[in-house]
């Protein structure tokens, strides 16, 4: 937020976004269900525990290597449910369409959503459509909401994270953000990186077998792994220490980040999860993920340390360490 | 990544660190200035200061071209961007740099100015060709590393007669800044880790005056961890031997004669201003480039009126001291409090290579008193 | 001092340009300042311009120095043992 107007930084998922949510929305809407500011709200009805979530999709361009806005909209909401420890039951979809938007494109996007829903074993059960004048809505915006049944084996909460717990990631990071950045076409680069958009419900169901040894999960989207782990550090009141060489990044993704001067830790993912598990369950957790196609690249990347400073640190191979702060604004490509 | 990963070998780094311990004199401090923002960034990013003996003090220098841009010139760029017909194309780094009253290009963009990020000045020229109804102004920033790219872009603009393109030139030269630092009475620097990429263009000879006139050694260094540590070792050896020479650690890309084609382009397209204001360092004679008269049609300062105001740095800002190596980031009274990366007071905090930004982003956990409560 | 990244020339194009590969990422780069660079050569690229070709021999020489440093680190322990034997 800046002098009374919304800036692009407020939507990037980092510090500015958090300020907007905490400083404006939470202030106005304050209630016990909202306060944990988790990916999903946990609602109880007659003894049944449900997860309930919503997300808006404004990605540009609408199509990018590896997916489109429709696929993103389905997987994104499925994943918010999945990482809350829920089995996704159903989604709804709201469309804001710009006058003049191509019906063929709309059909293609709806088709992507259908396929993604099938892959995630959910249905898009209800929806709404609005049309706005030419010039508004930038083509198409999609909002999906989802409801899921919480797995009784787990009670996921940042506050359950303890010193000594280990941090896992399900595979290589930064692919989605790089794919979209390049699809925008104004950086004059060519590469074969595709968005990693995928439903995580099978990976999360596998990890739920760990029961109480599974402390917490999240999908690191906007703002990347760095932002998600900073939220963890703040919520758990501890330091999260990562081992630089253990963090999986594909070679070409790493090269693209190097050229642009962006740290892969800050780049969005749409088909990866990060999980915190008890130390004795670490190897088993990694094995459970690696047994599944989407988890083939799963890696143990760090641990939680007792410290009064809620920071994320990366240990370098040179015996030093550096802070990984929360994202500030948008990752602007570094030049000089 | 080839030619990168090999120079990030942890074992080699630790081996050089062990050697450094044999090259210092116990109790005697060696103050080495790493001139270049890229070196500052690399040191903090890889945690290299953990490997240095206590006797080696690394002092950050002014080699961050974003950091040294005065507030008034940032305001000039903002005023250009605010013109309805202008598309201002800029490197990403410049967007959050605060001008007077803490406004920035990013803020101007949020309020409707057409500001676009480009990776190369050639991309800005391509933009002008693609959008002939817009006046595209490229915000030219950088040392002799980057100036040749701007030069070539202007040569191409003239050759292809692109009339809706111009450059707002803020390119600066490294050698005059080194001299200004050496002439400063408070300076206590024993040797310099020389800027690697500037030197691919200017070669090694421009640094010889540091040795011959000021008797300090200079070692040109690459940017990977082992490059930097190796350069420190070479400097310490010179200091122990009582030598003051220009040495080149970055031989794989730096040639002593530099790059003749790049230097020729600079000669053709630019002229040296009588003096140029550097943030925190004041006016340094013959340290800034302007566009030569033959290319006046592509000079944004000729095409447009800019306020051209000289704005004082905020009182609390110690960027000048940090850029001259007289203060560490955490010694600035507003570090981490009134001046943070999100609300920067000074350029050292906003440039990704600024010493304060690097320290805040990577290193502030090493001193409890610099971590905000 | 500014961001310079090593890449390999894939092919020369018209107008002083070349296609350069950076570990799977490709970009059109100006080789106006490195006119002698051929496909297969490695160059240092900054803001879309190749500023220098990477000299393989110099690169190797720098790596050799690193290798020597590592060897020197491993040696002293055994040397000290020998010297100790000699009294």
Position C47 pLDDT exceeds 60: yes
**Residues in chain C within 8 Å Cβ distance of A188:** 27-28, 48
* Contact by Cβ (8 Å): A187, A332: no
* Average confidence score pLDDT of chain A: 90
Strand A166-169 with B56-63, pairing: unpaired
Residues paired with C22 in a beta bridge: C25
Query: Which pLDDT does position A331 carry in this prediction?
Result: 57
Residue with tokens 């953990």: B50
Range of the domain at B113: 71-173+262-303
Lowest mean pLDDT among A67-81, A99-113, A186-200, B282-296: A186-200
Lowest mean pLDDT among A23-27, B69-73, C80-84: C80-84
Position A229 pLDDT exceeds 90: yes
- B69 φ/ψ angles, rounded to the nearest 5 degrees: -75, 125
The CA distance from C64 to the nearest CA of chain B, in Å, is 11
pLDDT cut 70: percent of chain A above it: 94
- C-beta atoms of B93 and A334 within 8 A: yes
3-state secondary structure of B36: strand
Q: Which of A56-60, B5-9, B16-20 has the highest mean pLDDT?
A: B16-20
The CA distance from A326 to the nearest CA of chain C, in Å, is 23
Lowest mean pLDDT among A222-226, B155-159, B163-167, B279-283: B279-283
Kindly provide the ipTM of the predicted complex, given to two decimals.
0.89
Taking only the tens place, the pLDDT of each residue in B104-126 is: 998 899 889 999 988 899 999 99
Position A334 pLDDT exceeds 50: no
Lowest mean pLDDT among A3-7, A149-153, A324-328, C35-39: A3-7
Q: Is residue B266 part of a domain?
A: yes
User: Could you write out the DSSP letters of every residue in A42-63?
Assistant: EEEETTEEEEEEEEEE--SSSE
* Contact by Cβ (8 Å): A111, A14: no
Q: In what order do the strands lie in the sheet with A48-57?
A: A41-45, A48-57, A140-150, A86-98, A123-132
Query: Which pLDDT does position A227 carry in this prediction?
Result: 92
Taking only the tens place, the pLDDT of each residue in C17-40 is: 999 999 888 999 999 999 999 999
Q: Which two tokens stand for residue A210?
A: 């760990």
Lowest mean pLDDT among A10-14, A47-51, B220-224, B360-364: A10-14
Alpha carbon distance B75, B71 (integer Å) = 6
A165, burial (CB in 10 Å: exposed 0-12, middle 13-18, buried 19+): buried
Query: Which pLDDT does position B185 carry in this prediction?
Result: 84
Query: Which pLDDT does position A50 carry in this prediction?
Result: 95
Q: What is the CATH number of the domain that holds B290?
A: 3.40.50.11740
Query: Which pLDDT does position A330 carry in this prediction?
Result: 61
* Contact by Cβ (8 Å): A112, A233: no
Query: Which pLDDT does position A186 carry in this prediction?
Result: 61
Q: Is residue B274 part of a domain?
A: yes
- C-beta atoms of C54 and B3 within 8 A: yes
- The third-level CATH classification (topology) of the domain covering A38-150 is 60s Ribosomal Protein L30; Chain: A; (3.30.1330)
Taking only the tens place, the pLDDT of each residue in A263-316 is: 899 999 999 999 999 999 999 999 999 999 999 999 999 999 987 688 899 998
The CA distance from A186 to the nearest CA of chain B, in Å, is 8
Position A35 pLDDT exceeds 70: yes
Q: Which two tokens stand for residue C19?
A: 């296609």
What's chain C's Rg over C-alpha atoms? 21
Q: How confident is the model at residue A93 (pLDDT cuts 50, 70, 90)?
A: very high
Query: CB distance from C54 to chain B under 8 Å?
Result: yes
Alpha carbon distance C47, A212 (integer Å) = 51
Residues paired with B335 in a beta bridge: B339
* Contact by Cβ (8 Å): A96, A135: no
The CA distance from B166 to the nearest CA of chain A, in Å, is 20
Q: Which of C1, C2, C22 is the closest to A259 by Cβ?
A: C22
List of chains touching B (3+ CB pairs within 8 A): A, C
Count the helix, strand and coil residues of chain A and give each as a percent rounded to the nearest 5: 35, 25, 40
Q: How confident is the model at residue A328 (pLDDT cuts 50, 70, 90)?
A: low
Q: How confident is the model at residue A84 (pLDDT cuts 50, 70, 90)?
A: very high
Query: Which pLDDT does position B226 carry in this prediction?
Result: 92
pLDDT cut 70: percent of chain C above it: 83
More confident residue, C86 or B40: B40
* Average confidence score pLDDT of chain C: 84
Query: Which pLDDT does position C67 carry in this prediction?
Result: 84
Q: Cis (ω within 30 of 0) for the bond into C16?
A: no
Mean local confidence (pLDDT), A37-53: 89
Name the class of domain A158-323: alpha beta
pLDDT cut 90: percent of chain A above it: 68
- Provide the 8-state DSSP code for A2: B
- C-beta atoms of C3 and A251 within 8 A: no
pTM of the model as a whole:
0.85
3-state secondary structure of B320: helix
Residues paired with B24 in a beta bridge: none
Taking only the tens place, the pLDDT of each residue in B263-297 is: 999 999 999 999 999 987 889 999 999 999 999 99
Taking only the tens place, the pLDDT of each residue in B185-198 is: 888 899 999 999 99
- C-beta atoms of B95 and A2 within 8 A: no
Q: Is residue B250 part of a domain?
A: no
The CA distance from A273 to the nearest CA of chain C, in Å, is 25
Query: Which pLDDT does position A307 carry in this prediction?
Result: 73
- C-beta atoms of C48 and A335 within 8 A: no
CB pairs under 8 A between A and B: 119
Give the mutation candidate from A172, A181, A252 for the C interface (greatest C CB count, under 10 A): A252
Q: Which two tokens stand for residue C70?
A: 């590592």
Q: Which of C2, C5, C28 is the closest to A259 by Cβ?
A: C5
- How many distinct structural domains can be found in chain B? 1
Question: Rounded to 5 degrees, what angle do the CA atoms B351, B200, B152 make?
Answer: 80
Position A332 pLDDT exceeds 80: no
* Average confidence score pLDDT of chain B: 91
Q: Which of B3, B19, B36 is the closest to C59 by Cβ?
A: B3
Handedness of CA C13, C17, C21, C27 (dihedral sign): negative
Q: How confident is the model at residue C71 (pLDDT cuts 50, 70, 90)?
A: confident
Position B373 pLDDT exceeds 60: no
Q: How confident is the model at residue B9 (pLDDT cuts 50, 70, 90)?
A: confident
Query: CB distance from A186 to chain C under 8 Å?
Result: no
**Residues in chain A within 8 Å Cβ distance of B147:** none
Q: How far is CA A86 from the centre of its chain?
A: 16
Lowest mean pLDDT among A244-253, B21-30, B315-324: B315-324
Taking only residues 8 to 27 of chain C, the set having a beta carbon closer than 8 angstroms to any beta carbon of chain B reads 8, 22-23
Domain ranges in chain A? 38-150, 158-323
The CA distance from A89 to the nearest CA of chain B, in Å, is 40
Handedness of CA C36, C38, C43, C49 (dihedral sign): positive
* Contact by Cβ (8 Å): B93, B69: no
Orientation of helix A201-208 relative to helix A69-82, angle to 10°: 10
Strands, E assignment, chain B: 30-36, 56-63, 86-90, 114-117, 135-142, 165-171, 191-194, 218-220, 246-248, 270-272, 275-278, 282-285, 289-291
Q: Which of A7, A311, A322 is the closest to B110 by Cβ?
A: A7
Query: Which pLDDT does position B204 carry in this prediction?
Result: 97
Residue with tokens 């938007």: A101
Mean local confidence (pLDDT), A134-152: 92
Exposure of B248 in the CB half-sphere (CA atoms within 13 A): 23
More confident residue, B184 or B154: B154
Query: CB distance from B62 to chain A under 8 Å?
Result: no
């Amino acid at each position: 937020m800046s002098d009374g107007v919304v800036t692009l930084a407020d939507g990037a998922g980092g510090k500015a976004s958090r300020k907007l949510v905490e400083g404006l929305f939470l202030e106005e809407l304050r209630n016990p269900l909202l306060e944990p500011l988790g990916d999903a709200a946990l609602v109880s009805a007659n003894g049944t525990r449900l997860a309930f979530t919503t997300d808006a999709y404004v990605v540009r361009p609408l199509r990018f290597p590896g997916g489109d806005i429709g696929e993103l909209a389905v997987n994104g909401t499925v994943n918010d449910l999945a990482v809350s420890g829920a089995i996704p039951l159903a989604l709804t979809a709201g469309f804001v369409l710009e006058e003049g938007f191509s019906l063929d494109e709309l059909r293609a996007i709806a088709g992507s959503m259908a396929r993604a829903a099938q892959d995630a074993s959910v249905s898009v059960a209800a929806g709404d459509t609005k049309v706005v004048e030419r010039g508004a809505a930038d083509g198409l915006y999609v909002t999906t909401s989802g409801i899921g049944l919480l797995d009784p084996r787990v009670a996921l909460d940042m506050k359950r994270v303890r010193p000594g717990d280990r941090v896992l990631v399900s595979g290589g990071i930064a692919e989605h953000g790089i794919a979209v950045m390049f699809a925008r076409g104004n950086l004059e680069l060519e590469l074969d990186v595709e968005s990693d958009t995928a439903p995580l419900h099978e990976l999360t169901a596998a990890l739920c077998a760990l029961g109480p040894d599974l402390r917490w999960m999240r999908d690191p989207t906007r703002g990347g792994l760095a932002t998600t782990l900073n939220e963890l550090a703040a919520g758990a009141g501890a330091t999260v220490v990562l081992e630089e060489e253990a963090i999986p990044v594909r070679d070409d993704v790493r090269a693209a980040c190097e050229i642009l001067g962006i740290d892969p830790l800050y780049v969005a993912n749409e088909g990866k999860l990060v999980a915190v598990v008890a130390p004795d369950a670490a190897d088993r957790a990694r094995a459970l993920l690696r047994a599944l196609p989407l988890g083939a690249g799963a890696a143990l990347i760090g641990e939680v340390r007792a410290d009064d400073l809620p920071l994320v640190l990366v240990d370098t191979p040179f015996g030093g360490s550096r802070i990984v702060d929360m994202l500030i604004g948008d990752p602007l490509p570094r030049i000089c | 990544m080839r030619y990168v990963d090999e120079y990030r070998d942890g074992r080699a780094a630790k081996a050089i660190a062990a050697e450094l311990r044999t090259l210092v004199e116990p109790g005697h401090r060696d103050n080495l200035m790493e001139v270049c923002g890229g070196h500052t960034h690399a040191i903090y990013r890889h945690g290299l200061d953990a490997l240095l003996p206590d006797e080696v003090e690394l002092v950050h220098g002014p080699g961050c071209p974003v950091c040294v841009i005065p507030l008034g010139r940032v305001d000039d760029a903002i005023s250009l961007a605010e013109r309805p017909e202008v598309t201002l194309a800029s490197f990403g780094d410049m967007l959050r740099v605060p001008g007077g009253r803490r406004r920035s290009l990013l803020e101007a963009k949020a309020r409707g100015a057409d500001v676009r990020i480009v990776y190369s000045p050639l991309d800005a020229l391509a933009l002008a060709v693609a959008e002939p109804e817009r006046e595209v102004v490229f915000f030219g920033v950088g040392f002799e590393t980057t100036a040749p790219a701007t030069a070539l872009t202007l040569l191409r603009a003239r050759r292809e007669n692109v009339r809706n393109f111009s450059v707002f030139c803020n390119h600066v030269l490294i050698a005059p800044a080194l001299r200004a630092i050496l002439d400063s009475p408070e300076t206590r620097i024993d040797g310099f880790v020389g800027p690697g990429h500037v030197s691919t263009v200017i070669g090694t000879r421009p640094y010889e005056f540091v040795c011959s006139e000021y008797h300090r050694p200079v070692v040109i260094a690459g940017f990977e961890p082992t490059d930097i540590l190796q350069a420190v070792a070479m400097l310490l050896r010179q200091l122990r031997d009582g030598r003051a020479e220009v040495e080149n650690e970055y031989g794989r890309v730096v040639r002593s004669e530099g790059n003749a084609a790049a230097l020729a382009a600079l000669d053709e397209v630019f002229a040296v201003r009588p003096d140029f204001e550097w943030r925190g360092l004041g006016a340094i004679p013959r340290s800034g480039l302007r566009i030569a008269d033959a290319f006046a049609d592509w000079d944004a300062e000729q095409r447009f009126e800019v306020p051209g105001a000289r704005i004082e740095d905020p009182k609390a800002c110690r960027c000048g001291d940090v850029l001259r190596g007289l203060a560490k980031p955490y010694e600035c009274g507003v570090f981490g409090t009134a001046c943070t990366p999100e609300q920067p007071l000074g350029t050292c905090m906003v440039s990704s290579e600024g010493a304060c930004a690097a320290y805040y982003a990577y290193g502030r956990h090493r001193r409890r008193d610099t971590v905000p409560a | 001092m500014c961001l310079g990244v090593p890449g390999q020339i894939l092919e020369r194009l018209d107008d002083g340009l070349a296609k350069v590969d950076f570990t799977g990422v490709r970009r059109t780069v100006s080789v106006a300042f490195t006119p002698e660079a051929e496909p297969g050569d490695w160059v240092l690229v900054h803001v879309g311009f190749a500023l220098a070709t990477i000299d393989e021999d110099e690169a190797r020489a720098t790596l050799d120095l690193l290798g020597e440093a590592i060897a020197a680190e491993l040696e002293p322990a055994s040397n000290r043992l020998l010297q100790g034997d000699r009294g």
